[in-house]
Structure 1
């Protein structure tokens, strides 16, 4: 009798284990689909009128001269206006990131650019044209349409890019875009409840974590360069990137500091947001030993002075300083896509 009961208990335990495993696998697949790259054909615009009006431009300072689609400069007074003038916005940031990617290639390392807040692609498009695998993430529909159309027009090999019309945060969900009427790159997002009504709105898109994006990268250990321009969501993106730092080798992070510094200076009393800023930056600088450099000054910055750091910073992984230098000279590529 006892043997029968024991067999029954074992059978029930096995069934429950199978059910749990099936549930977990289904959830993982659900989240994998949730964060999967979007189809470039669905993101891009092929109409002749759109291409004629917005896509008759190149990133002139970049040696590969890739084609790029822009906004009306009256609606995008920085990035698109610079491109129309034959220039590139944030030239020093673009040049420094590209130089580091080339240094990684020269050292026989396999770089990946994770471009969070890709806008119309002033980092992503040069990176892809240099033969660097690039993951571009942008929540604003009109910006992603231009980025995807540019990628399509340049006929880049599909293995070199994945495009995500999404936002990046510390949790999955939905966000709604708030567009800046004069500066598309300054558009922001807010978390909203996911339901049928909100998801059908054009300015609502999914929010994913960086770790969600990592599941779509090759299994092998990669050397990841992160560029972030996500209007204050930087600490949330880093908070949701624990698996990235465990699985891959993050060599460089380029990010805005001005908004985060403002939050730390303004909020005398700690808030959940400022706590997150302090926690993620403390982990990077003091525990993971990333060195901090000022884009504006070109000099090293130190943790105790973080309330006075410059507006844009580079975080360089310990040991990678020899493959990093701040420059405003856009390099020539080692290989062309």
Structure 2
């Protein structure tokens, strides 16, 4: 609890508003114990259907944008005619931002069947079935099936020999899922399986439509593939809407950009979005 309170009180969108922040936290703690599901108002008419224990979803309810810089980048970098790819979509927070707020098309990829049901529920409550395609699969270097953990909420991942609670899920290459499509931004949250996911996305990386990739873990081999496709590492400051070559901004994921100058212009001219008390 102390860790959660420290995070939400220090969040950029909550600073200076401790009483309302604590009230929002307390309200959720009470309501989520009395109701199986809460459909909470979110950003510019969108909603989040969440239950107690959904850490990523509740972070958005507490803070507006749980992963502030990463989520704001999606809001500012995408346009209505773009395709966003949400790899490891969980319950769909990023896809709601991309399609529900910006109006872009999204492909939301989530391997866990239970979580995919929550993802579908969020697409339903936001009436986004015409904008969001759900793909229930893990992504990797080949096609087939793979063992995946259960019961870890946002931390579910490809299983190892030490994992007792597991299930078998489909495995697809990102190149196959995106064949014939032109993604503009990809967010990849696959809990350490990024290298294998990128092995199956070599053609996607070459697609000139792709201007940015957000991903959590990048080893030397993965970095070589990404940089070999013309991407450079940046961080993003949502408050000034500027890209920084040095990783100076606190981001949950690493950001790689291709065509930084053109993207910088898009970031500066994107519409402002109301998130709680703030316009960003």
Q: Which has the larger radius of gyration?
A: 1
Deviations 1:1-45 (A, max 9, x none): xxxxxxxxxxxxxxxxxxxxxxxxxxxxxxxxxxxxxxxxxxxxx
Is the aligned partner of 1:279 residue 2:221?
yes
Do the aligned residues in 2 keep the contact of 1:168 with 1:209 (CA within 8 Å)? yes
Whole-angstrom distance in 2 between the partners of 1:186 and 1:100: 27
Is the aligned partner of 1:81 residue 2:58?
yes
Quote the residue 1:18 is aligned against.
none
Q: Which residue of 204, 210, 215 maps to 1:255?
A: 215
Aligned-pair CA distance for 1:140? 1.6
Aligned-pair CA distance for 1:325? 5.0
Alignment of 1:231-310 (within 5 A): 231-257=191-217, 260=218, 277-285=219-227, 287-294=228-235, 299-301=244-246
Quote the residue 2:159 is aligned against.
190
Whole-angstrom distance in 2 between the partners of 1:251 and 1:139: 25
The number of equivalent residue pairs is: 228
Aligned-pair CA distance for 1:53? 2.3
Q: Which runs of 5+ in 2 are unaligned?
A: 1-34, 275-280
Q: Greater share of helix residues, 1 or 2?
A: 1
Whole-angstrom distance in 2 between the partners of 1:205 and 1:180: 15
- What's the TM-score, normalizing by structure 1? 0.59
Residues 1:84 and 1:97: Cα distance change in structure 2 (over 3 Å): closer
Quote the residue 1:204 is aligned against.
168
1:69 aligns to what SS in structure 2?
strand
2:159 aligns to what SS in structure 1?
strand
Do the aligned residues in 2 keep the contact of 1:94 with 1:330 (CA within 8 Å)? no
Whole-angstrom distance in 2 between the partners of 1:180 and 1:325: 38
Whole-angstrom distance in 1 between the partners of 2:122 and 2:196: 29
2:93 aligns to what SS in structure 1?
coil
Is the aligned partner of 1:123 residue 2:68?
no
1:190 aligns to what SS in structure 2?
coil
Q: Which residue of 231, 241, 257 maps to 1:316?
A: 257
Whole-angstrom distance in 1 between the partners of 2:57 and 2:225: 36
Runs of 4+ in 1 over 6 A off after TM superposition: none
Quote the residue 2:120 is aligned against.
148
Aligned-pair CA distance for 1:95? 0.8
Do the aligned residues in 2 keep the contact of 1:68 with 1:147 (CA within 8 Å)? no
2:234 aligns to what SS in structure 1?
strand
Residues 1:99 and 1:225: Cα distance change in structure 2 (over 3 Å): same
Alignment of 1:50-129 (within 5 A): 53-58=36-41, 60=42, 62-63=43-44, 65-73=45-53, 76=54, 78-85=55-62, 87-102=64-79, 105=80, 110-129=81-100
Higher relative contact order (CA closer than 8 Å, sequence separation 6+): 1
Whole-angstrom distance in 2 between the partners of 1:209 and 1:115: 14
Q: Which runs of 5+ in 1 are unaligned?
A: 1-51, 193-200, 261-276, 303-308, 333-337
Q: Which residue of 155, 172, 177 maps to 1:213?
A: 177
Quote the residue 2:13 is aligned against.
none
Is the aligned partner of 1:177 residue 2:148?
yes
